[in-house]
């Protein structure tokens, strides 16, 4: 199935389609919250789709997460990242970070990320945990991160395509079965 599937990678189309499907995406979130499937089975489906989609999309050709997003830095991330830059913890924090109102942790103070150079992180080896795990689809307990997933549909071609495939695999088949 994946071999014949056209992957959407154009960011303008992804943003447009995500905006058009905003209500649908929220309806699907509600469906998943009430769907009779174990968390482990849902995670396994998402992980499978993630591996299929991510194997066909080169993040270094996109880097939109670094252009539009703002990773969260905890104390350990700040310490590690500043060391990689060869500057002090406080200097890094003062020059590049601001307090995130929601998490009480730190995020970069501007977008695109000031460390993005030619679609690559200039301090890649020392990047924060949030960057290392993006787009977070390989993590367990997918059902508890659906708000972030919907938001990331606008930003990341991998997330967009996985969410669309997941709708096809679970929701559309369920609806076709229910109403035939």
Residues 6+ apart with CB under 8 A from 107: 70, 71, 72, 73, 97, 98, 100
pLDDT at 178 over 90: no
Rounded mean pLDDT of 156-176? 90
Among the listed residues 177, 173, 152, 149, the one whose alpha carbon sits nearest the alpha carbon of residue 33? 149
pLDDT at 100 over 90: no
Task: Give, as one character, the DSSP assignment of residue 167.
Answer: I
Angle made by CA atoms 175, 17, 19, in degrees to the nearest 5: 95
Give the integer Cα–Cα distance in Å for 87 and 6: 45
pTM (global) more than 0.75 = yes
Tell me: the pLDDT tens digits for 2-37?
545 679 999 999 999 999 999 999 999 999 999 999
Query: Looking at residue 103, what is its pLDDT?
Result: 77
Give the integer Cα–Cα distance in Å for 82 and 115: 12
> What residues does each domain of the chain span?
39-49+60-69+134-174, 72-128
pLDDT-derived band at 175 (thresholds 50, 70, 90) equals: low
For residues 124 and 178, the model is more confident at 124
Residue the block writes with tokens 């990773």:
71
Q: In angstroms, how far is CA 79 from the centroid of its own chain?
A: 24
Angle made by CA atoms 90, 100, 84, in degrees to the nearest 5: 40
Share of the chain above pLDDT 90, in %: 87
């Amino acid at each position: 199935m994946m071999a014949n599937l056209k992957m959407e990678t154009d960011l303008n189309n992804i943003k447009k389609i995500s905006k058009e499907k905003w209500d649908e995406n929220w309806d699907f979130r509600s469906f998943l919250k009430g769907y009779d499937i174990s968390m482990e089975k849902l995670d396994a489906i998402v992980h499978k789709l993630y591996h299929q989609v991510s194997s066909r999309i080169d993040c270094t050709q996109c880097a939109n997460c670094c252009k539009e997003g703002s990773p969260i830095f905890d104390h350990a991330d700040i310490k590690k990242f500043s060391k990689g830059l060869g500057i002090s913890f406080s200097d890094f924090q003062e020059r590049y970070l601001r307090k995130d109102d929601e998490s009480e942790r730190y995020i970069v103070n501007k977008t695109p990320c000031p460390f993005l150079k030619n679609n690559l992180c200039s301090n890649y080896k020392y990047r924060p945990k949030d960057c290392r795990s993006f787009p977070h689809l390989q993590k367990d307990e997918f059902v508890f991160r659906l708000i972030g997933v919907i938001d990331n549909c606008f930003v990341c071609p991998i997330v967009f395509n996985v969410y669309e495939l997941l709708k096809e695999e679970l929701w559309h088949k369920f609806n076709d079965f229910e109403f035939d």
